[in-house]
Amino acid sequence: MRTIDWVDGAIEIIDQTALPGELKILRLHTVGELVAAIQSLAVRGAPALGVAGAFGVALAARVHADDPQALAAAVHRVETARPTAVNLARGARRAALLLPQGPQAVLREACRVRDEEIAASDAMAALGADLLVELCGTRPRLLTHCNTGGLAAVTIGTALGVVHELHRRGQLAGVIASETRPLLQGARLTSWELTGWGIEHRVAVDSAGPFLMARGEIDAVILGADRICANGDVINKIGTYAHALGARAAGLPFVVVAPESTVDLGTPSGDAVTIEDRGSSEVTPWAAAANPAFDVTPHDLVTAIVTDRRVIRLDRGELL
Amino acid sequence: MRTIDWVDGAIEIIDQTALPGELKILRLHTVGELVAAIQSLAVRGAPALGVAGAFGVALAARVHADDPQALAAAVHRVETARPTAVNLARGARRAALLLPQGPQAVLREACRVRDEEIAASDAMAALGADLLVELCGTRPRLLTHCNTGGLAAVTIGTALGVVHELHRRGQLAGVIASETRPLLQGARLTSWELTGWGIEHRVAVDSAGPFLMARGEIDAVILGADRICANGDVINKIGTYAHALGARAAGLPFVVVAPESTVDLGTPSGDAVTIEDRGSSEVTPWAAAANPAFDVTPHDLVTAIVTDRRVIRLDRGELL
């Protein structure tokens, strides 16, 4: 089962806002529907958004084949639907390069983006599992944040793909999934995927992570990235930085797993990234809220970055 | 309005599980009703629990005046209703010392416990406000965690009493209340109290605190304690430790405000404290959970402890 795909002339996605209660498939026929799905987080996760960006341009190319101005505007809407998501814009731009060759060429390119993300998940799972065994010995107990599973990609995901691979090898001793407020991607999505894979786990409130590390219940933290800056700073779901502080204080490895497409050498450091504030209503019905959706984890708190092509040991001074 | 009081032969409390939706007063006539109210967090907060412990023994003394065995068992039930709450047991034991003198003497002692907590709030508010201005200059922007207001005490509270006092002096520039999962004491209770006091504020998810500090939006963290160990380690609501790591990384003062009765010189350090796990159902309906209700903040992360009698500058090597 794929989180996002092109089926019979439209984009099909699993509606992640309906999980874990209901497995609902949405068919998106217009750029407007796709942008709404991206902004409501019905589809989310850096790799999945890359595929969504490419398919979105394929959709625009079919709908606006005879109106170059409308087409350019539609491509721009796809590209900018979520400002932090570098993969979204990159997937869209990559498909857009084929626009002069017509809608079929754009769609073929978008399908290649999808297939490459599937292959990238498998590569990250193998590299990441090897690294964790090297860092922690066999059978580590892991903490992960947000959702980086198949639901964030196309098939098995990034950081959660590594968890899947360790489990497959018989080398996993336990998983804590932090719930990931305000939208509970951990409690809703990661827990749903782990259950589907038959992996025993516990959910914890986000603020418990650092204490569980201090108490010796965790061997490593493994999570994804929305964007990796040129200096190794990691932009990821709010709470990533707090977990990195916990890992540092407890002397634990802090491993970031993300496809090479997440690496953004055009952004020198986290200071250069605008952090999306998603407003009060996600957080509480009773008051105004500060709701930064992402945070910046400075590179010196990151042990290693695992991509589909390489392992960068920031703790040993390796650079991107 | 008092959070807890003795009215016409019974304990009256504000039912904090009904806030902010409804202001509901519960009358508790038996030890069983009181213990249930404590365990469901209808009444909570270290100072309020001290008063609850004393009034609980007063209740037991009236109900079981003719049955010493039942009386002893009832006192024990009050004392042990929440294992982490040192004030609860201390309030209960203090009232229990008067048992040989009869129910009226016990009740008079319990009322003294209540009156002392009210006076202690006023003293902490003054000492804490002076300290924050000394540490941050006038008009600090504060982050607070959990609920330490009147709802945790009898009138204005501990850490939130300091916020109240700074506001009264015109020396407060902003407040972030962390929501405090899983039970949302910040989003529900602290926000409700601040609104009632006319203090502008924003709520944030717990995992955002350290990032808001790193981004320069906070000048100091101020919160309460359930128990302060002899070496200065602080036992408080889960998430306190994560916020302390954030404050340390950002170079911000981390100030703990709690009545002298919270200081437990009989407990050498945080390692000696059993942390209550409150089970999965508070956290998620979809999975098993790790749910430590409290955590341990090592004394070296604490700038200062403010009690009703003194300011202990741990950052300057002062001891309890």
B215 min Cα distance to partner chain A (Å): 9
Phi, psi (deg, nearest 5) at residue A113: -55, -45
A54 min Cα distance to partner chain B (Å): 32
Spell out which residues of chain B touch residue A243, defining contact as CB-CB under 8 Å.
207
B208 min Cα distance to partner chain A (Å): 6
Spell out which residues of chain A touch residue B284, defining contact as CB-CB under 8 Å.
179, 187, 191, 203
Residues A10-54: pLDDT tens digits? 999 999 999 999 999 999 999 999 999 999 999 998 889 999 999
Range of the domain at A66: 4-116
Query: Please, what is the Cα angle at B308 between B302 and B311, to 5 degrees?
Result: 40
Of A191, A215, A242, the CB nearest to B246: A242
Q: What is the mean pLDDT of residues A243-254?
A: 98
Query: Is the Cβ pair B239, A192 closer than 8 Å?
Result: no
Closest CA to B6 of B43, B54, B50, B40: B54
Closest CA to B288 of A217, A199, A250: A199
Residue type, A31: V
What's residue A1's pLDDT? Answer: 82
Q: How far apart are CA A116 and CA B303, in angstroms?
A: 51
Model ipTM? Answer: 0.90
Residues B275-311: pLDDT tens digits? 999 999 999 999 999 999 999 999 999 999 999 999 9
Q: Which residue, of B116, B135, B168, is where some domain finishes?
A: B116
Q: Are residues A100 and A131 in the same domain?
A: no
Q: Are residues A53 and A37 in the same domain?
A: yes
What Rg value do the Cα atoms of chain A yield, rounded? Answer: 19
Task: Pull the structure tokens for residue A173.
Answer: 């001793």
Going by DSSP bridges, is the β-strand pair B263-264/B227-229 parallel, antiparallel, or unpaired?
parallel
Residues A279-313: pLDDT tens digits? 999 999 999 999 999 999 999 999 999 999 999 99
DSSP B49-95: HHHHHHHHHHHHHHHTTT-HHHHHHHHHHHHTSSTT-HHHHHHHHHH
Q: Are residues B112 and B128 in the same domain?
A: no
Q: Are residues B95 and B186 in the same domain?
A: no
Query: Please, what is the Cα angle at B241 between A183 and B15, to 5 degrees?
Result: 65
Q: Are residues A126 and A255 in the same domain?
A: yes
Of B176, B217, B284, the CB nearest to A179: B284
DSSP A29-74: -SHHHHHHHHHTTSS-SHHHHHHHHHHHHHHHHHHTTT-HHHHHHH
Residue type, A35: V
In this structure, what CATH number is given to the domain that contains residue B69?
1.20.120.420
- Quickly state the pLDDT bin for A69 (edges 50, 70, 90): very high
Residue type, B121: S
Spell out which residues of chain B touch residue A209, defining contact as CB-CB under 8 Å.
242
Q: What is the mean pLDDT of residues A75-89?
A: 91
Task: Pull the structure tokens for residue A100.
Answer: 């002069």
Residues A191-233: pLDDT tens digits? 999 999 999 999 999 999 999 999 999 999 999 998 999 999 9
Of B182, B238, B249, the CB nearest to A245: B249
Of B187, B206, B284, the CB nearest to A206: B206
Q: Are residues B110 and B88 in the same domain?
A: yes
Q: How far apart are CA A164 and CA B270, in angstroms?
A: 36
What's residue B251's pLDDT? Answer: 98
Spell out which residues of chain A touch residue B221, defining contact as CB-CB under 8 Å.
none
Query: Please, what is the Cα angle at A41 between A260 and A102, to 5 degrees?
Result: 65
Q: How far apart are CA A95 and CA A107, in angstroms?
A: 8
How many cross-chain Cβ pairs, A to B, lie less than 8 Å apart? 164
Spell out which residues of chain B touch residue A288, defining contact as CB-CB under 8 Å.
201-203
Q: Are residues B137 and B64 in the same domain?
A: no
Q: Are residues B233 and B168 in the same domain?
A: yes
A307 min Cα distance to partner chain B (Å): 25
Q: Which residues pair with B142 in a beta bridge?
A: B175, B220
Phi, psi (deg, nearest 5) at residue A310: -165, 165
User: Which of B235, B284, B295 best tests the A interface by mutation, with the highest count of A CBs <10 A?
Assistant: B284
Query: Is the Cβ pair A176, B201 closer than 8 Å?
Result: no
Query: Is the Cβ pair A286, B182 closer than 8 Å?
Result: no
For residue B208, what is the DSSP state? Answer: G
Neighbours of B269 (CB within 10 A): 14
Q: Which residue, of B84, B116, B148, is where some domain finishes?
A: B116
Phi, psi (deg, nearest 5) at residue A200: -65, 140
Please identify which residue in the block is written with the tokens 């999505």: A189
Spell out which residues of chain A touch residue B239, defining contact as CB-CB under 8 Å.
205, 207-208
Grouping H, G, I as helix, E, B as strand and the rest as coil, residue A197 is coil
What's residue A209's pLDDT? Answer: 98
- Please pick, among B206, B219, B226, B308, the residue that the annotation labels catalytic: B226
Of B187, B286, B292, the CB nearest to A211: B292
Of B180, B238, B284, the CB nearest to A203: B284
Please identify which residue in the block is written with the tokens 């409150």: B278
Q: Which residue, of A116, A150, A176, is where some domain finishes?
A: A116
CB A255 within 8 A of CB A243: no
- Domains held by chain B: number: 2
Q: How far apart are CA B257 and CA B263, in angstroms?
A: 11
- Beta strands of B251-314 (E only): which ranges? 254-257, 263-264, 294-297, 304-306, 311-312
Query: Please, what is the Cα angle at B224 between A182 and B320, to 5 degrees?
Result: 145
User: Is B72 exposed, middle or buried, given 0-12, 13-18 or 19+ CB atoms closer than 10 A?
Assistant: middle
Q: What is the mean pLDDT of residues A266-274?
A: 94
In this structure, what CATH number is given to the domain that contains residue B299?
3.40.50.10470
CB B196 within 8 A of CB A276: no
Neighbours of B286 (CB within 10 A): 17
A23 min Cα distance to partner chain B (Å): 15
What's residue A45's pLDDT? Answer: 87
Residues B223-268: pLDDT tens digits? 999 899 999 999 999 999 999 999 999 999 999 999 998 899 999 9
Residue type, A11: I
User: Which of A188, A197, A207, A221 best tests the B interface by mutation, with the highest count of B CBs <10 A?
Assistant: A207
Least confident of A81-95, A152-166, A217-231, B68-82: A81-95
Neighbours of A174 (CB within 10 A): 17
Q: Are residues B37 and B177 in the same domain?
A: no
A15 min Cα distance to partner chain B (Å): 18
Q: Are residues B173 and B224 in the same domain?
A: yes
Neighbours of B186 (CB within 10 A): 30
- Please pick, among A226, A233, A264, A308, the residue that the annotation labels catalytic: A226
Q: Which residues contact A151 (CB under 8 A, 6 or more apart)?
A: A3, A14, A16, A19, A44, A45, A48, A157, A189, A192, A193
Please identify which residue in the block is written with the tokens 């040129």: A230
Residue ranges for chain B with pLDDT beneath 70: none
Going by DSSP bridges, is the β-strand pair A141-144/A220-223 parallel, antiparallel, or unpaired?
parallel
With a cut of 80, say whether residue A256 has pLDDT above it. Answer: yes
Q: Are residues A177 and A97 in the same domain?
A: no
Spell out which residues of chain A touch residue B180, defining contact as CB-CB under 8 Å.
207
Please identify which residue in the block is written with the tokens 């990151």: A302
User: Which of B205, B221, B291 best tests the A interface by mutation, with the highest count of A CBs <10 A?
Assistant: B205
Residue B67 appears among annotated catalytic residues: no
Q: Are residues A215 and A157 in the same domain?
A: yes
